A and B are shown apart, each in its own frame.
Chain A
Amino acid sequence: MDQQTATFEFLCRMGDNTLVLGHRVSEWCGKAPVLEEDIALANVALDLIGQTQMWLGLAAEVEGAGRTADDLAMLRDVWDFRSALLVEQPNGDFGQTLMRQYLFDQWHVAVLTALMESADPRVADIAAKSVKEARYHVERSADLVIRLGDGTEESHGRMQAALDKLWPFFGELFDDDPVDAAMAEAGIAPLPSGLRADVDQEVAAVMAQATLVIPADRFAHRGGKTGIRHSEHLGHMLTQMQWLQRAYPGATW
């Protein structure tokens, strides 16, 4: 794989993660359990979509085929998406949404912090901008995971169920493949596996405070970041997200 292709793939992974999670979180808009959480979820979604514009904008620039960030977001099919399986998982209940957010945020802060040292200044700039938002997100998601985990019997049970359900999707974020090897070789991005130890330590601390038990099994579902095997959920999500551009190609405000 040449470096241009690898860089494009890597940037799509970053942008597709924030795009898919941003869209998922936005699905709560108008129906969250309380108004404050509704507003918080919508704001997190906005930040993620804003970050998507930067990542996919740079991906389009690197690709050099005349596509834009919007083209990449709205006109690719499911098999061209490079988002991890974790972010395409349905919202479930509020606890599951928060657990997904927390696991993502903890990884996100680690990867963005490392990317601030990227040999590609365009990548470093986007990371420096995004990490400020990601740090703010993890403050909230960790706080709520702790409060609900160490909460009532009902909330504790739901948070443990969410962790059990989502844990097998966490490992993919730390998988290395040829794209990652090429990025590490060029100094553009860290090897994902190298982030795991620190992130695990953070997650363990939060789960201990939340009185939640991390599953012992390290089995991980794979196939999202490579695009080889997305779950059935992503295609359904894209039909919602992309319908306007599919129905009215080229429509603008």
Chain B
Amino acid sequence: MRPELAQIWDWLDAVPDPEIPVISVVDLGIVRDVAWHGDMLEIAVTPTYSGCPATSVIAMDIETALRNRGVSDIRIKTQIAPAWTTDWLSEKGRAKLVEYGIAPPRAAGGPESCPRCGSKSVSKVSQFGSTPCKAHWRCGDCLEPFDYFKCI
């Protein structure tokens, strides 16, 4: 059985990021390529941060999701170039991040506004946050701390 590639991408778009489950691995922009080589499906995945502990979990989740759909011959290839950039986050993914309470990355190097109340009065608490891809910010109006998805 060789499902269409569009179908495979749809299935992958249903695989959640293990650390930010509201977005999929496709939203995150880490699935770089999907191709059939004979009956073997090869998926190129790029790490977000080189030491991100979620990378191996993501590979396992992708494999499990596809096996459950009947694809058994799968090869997951780690591809480091070109290096992952937050520019590859999908629009859908960015919108979901805000809804979830995480400010999406911006080239300016900081969040535009508080994802909870929309205030523009925000300040950095720490350059690093709860996962390698996030920094820790705080809102000056609602006073709540929030995660900012680092821009790289």
A-side residues, CB < 8 A to B, are 22, 36-37, 39-40, 43-51, 53-54, 121, 124-126, 128-130, 132-133, 136, 139-140
CB distance from A47 to the nearest CB of B (A): 5
**Contacting B128 at CB < 8 Å: which of A43, A124, A128?**
A43
Q: Do A50 and B81 contact each other (CB < 8 Å), given the known contacts A39-B126, A136-B152, A140-B127?
A: no
CB distance from B108 to the nearest CB of A (A): 14
* Cβ-based interface call for B110 (8 A): no
Q: Do A132 and B52 contact each other (CB < 8 Å), given the known contacts A36-B128, A39-B130?
A: no
CB distance from B147 to the nearest CB of A (A): 12
Query: For chain B, what secondary structure do more than half of its interface residues adopt (helix, strand, loop), or is it mixed?
Result: loop
CB distance from A176 to the nearest CB of B (A): 28
Residues from chain A with Cβ under 8 Å of B84 in the complex = 129
* Cβ-based interface call for B125 (8 A): yes
Q: Do A49 and B51 contact each other (CB < 8 Å), given the known contacts A125-B80, A129-B80?
A: yes
Q: Do A46 and B53 contact each other (CB < 8 Å), given the known contacts A39-B126, A39-B130?
A: yes
B-side residues, CB < 8 A to A, are 47, 49-53, 80-84, 125-130, 132, 136, 150, 152
Query: CA separation between A219 and B125, bound complex, in Å?
Result: 39
CB distance from A111 to the nearest CB of B (A): 16
**B128 & A50 in contact (Cβ 8 Å cutoff):** no
**B80 & A54 in contact (Cβ 8 Å cutoff):** yes
Q: Do A40 and B128 contact each other (CB < 8 Å), given the known contacts A46-B51, A47-B51, A50-B49?
A: yes
**A40 & B51 in contact (Cβ 8 Å cutoff):** no
Query: For chain A, what secondary structure do more than half of its interface residues adopt (helix, strand, loop), or is it mixed?
Result: helix
**A48 & B152 in contact (Cβ 8 Å cutoff):** no
Query: CA separation between A225 and B152, bound complex, in Å?
Result: 31
**A36 & B136 in contact (Cβ 8 Å cutoff):** yes
CB distance from B90 to the nearest CB of A (A): 20
Residue ID in chain B nearest A126 by CB atoms: B80
Residues from chain B with Cβ under 8 Å of A40 in the complex = 126-128
**B132 & A47 in contact (Cβ 8 Å cutoff):** yes
Q: Do A46 and B49 contact each other (CB < 8 Å), given the known contacts A136-B150, A136-B152?
A: yes
**A54 & B150 in contact (Cβ 8 Å cutoff):** no
Residues from chain B with Cβ under 8 Å of A47 in the complex = 49-51, 132
Q: Do A39 and B81 contact each other (CB < 8 Å), given the known contacts A46-B49, A46-B53, A50-B49?
A: no
Residue ID in chain A nearest B49 by CB atoms: A47
Residues from chain A with Cβ under 8 Å of B47 in the complex = 50, 129
A–B Cβ pairs within 8 angstroms, 24 of them? A22-B51, A39-B128, A39-B136, A40-B126, A40-B127, A43-B132, A44-B128, A46-B51, A46-B53, A47-B51, A47-B132, A48-B51, A50-B47, A51-B50, A53-B50, A53-B51, A54-B50, A121-B81, A125-B81, A126-B80, A129-B80, A129-B83, A136-B150, A139-B127
